[in-house]
Amino acid sequence: GEDVEQSLFLSVREGDSSVINCTYTDSSSTYLYWYKQEPGAGLQLLTYIFSNMDMKQDQRLTVLLNKKDKHLSLRIADTQTGDSAIYFCAENPSQKLVFGTGTRLLVSP
């Protein structure tokens, strides 16, 4: 079945790196996504990775994909207080997305 799992909470200090992990179940997903939700706002696409890639880097963001283990991670370098938000990973077994439970990232000064 479709199931995407994430840890619920991560706390880091400003300037440290953050790593948010996700496991998914559907190996047919073409893309895997990371969305960010700030308080009181909708989800915003942060980055994505094509399923035949192992890694994608986009400025402070690094996405790692381990297809064998169905494991996806998002690394945020030099984490800032403005990065505090909920981060969702999502797989797309079809046109619809299956979202994880979300990881709340808290960045303290």
- Residues found near other proteins in the complex (CB under 8 A): 30-31, 33, 35, 41-45, 48, 50, 88, 92, 94-97, 99, 101-102
DSSP designation for 93: S
Indicate the residue among 4 and 76 with the shorter CB distance to other proteins: 4
The residue count of the chain comes to 109
Q: How far is the CB of 14 from other proteins (least distance, A)?
A: 27
Residue 14 or 56 with smaller CB distance to other proteins: 56
Q: Give the SS3 label for residue 73.
A: strand
Q: How far is the CB of 6 from other proteins (least distance, A)?
A: 10
End-to-end CA distance of the chain: 41
In angstroms, give the least distance from the CB of 97 to other proteins. 6
Opening angle at CA 33, ends 31 and 37, nearest 5: 160
